[in-house]
Amino acid sequence: MAVYPGAVDGLSDSTKQQERHYYLLSELQTLVKDLPSSFQQRLSYNTLSDLALALIDGTVYEIVQGLLDIQHLTERNLYNQRQKLHCEHQALKQELARKHKEALQSCKSHNLALLKTNQQGEVEALEIRVRDEQRMMDKKIVAEMDQKVIDQQNTLEKAGVPGFYITTNPQELTMQMNLLELILKLQQKESQSGSI
């Protein structure tokens, strides 16, 4: 029987993949021990084996890193928007205080009580406006971050990473965060050892 070079290569590739799968599975089993026991119990051998299979070629690492980069950019952008709004509010308060001080200096004593009442109303109106705009900004930030989570879940599900699907269940979200942590720790370990 003749041995074809391609057949031997295919066998060695299959063996290499099998070895890599066992290595990844073993590393995941070690890393899982650092998780809370409630999550350890939910990560079955099959789930870890499927996760190891998904990680074999390194594509999932690249996807996770891309998602992290996008998340960090989004967080920075949202933080900057909130800071900008805060600065605008501070400027409005300072301008109002300056305007009030000038008005008090030029006010006749018989109009002082009326002026102070009007100024107090302006301060309260500005505080309400600031509070409302901050609340709207915070709602926008939460909505955008929620959308990022959904996008990440969807991307990882489509990439075939076990345990990822679109959900808002807090327990499932925590499980997904733990899975991501495992992936990131394994990626870090492999990049330090030069495996990937």
| Model confidence at 49: pLDDT above 60 | yes
d(C-alpha 145, C-alpha 140), whole Å: 9
Q: What is the mean pLDDT of residues 70-95?
A: 96
Helix (H) or strand (E) holding 98: helix 59-106
Q: Find tokens 């733990």 and name the residue.
A: 178
pLDDT for the residue numbered 46? 92
User: Domain boundaries in the chain?
Assistant: 80-158
Of 83 and 38, the structure prediction assigns the larger pLDDT to: 83
Sign of CA dihedral 17, 22, 25, 27: negative
**Residue 11 pLDDT grade (very low, low, confident, very high; cuts 50, 70, 90):** low
Total-model pTM: 0.78
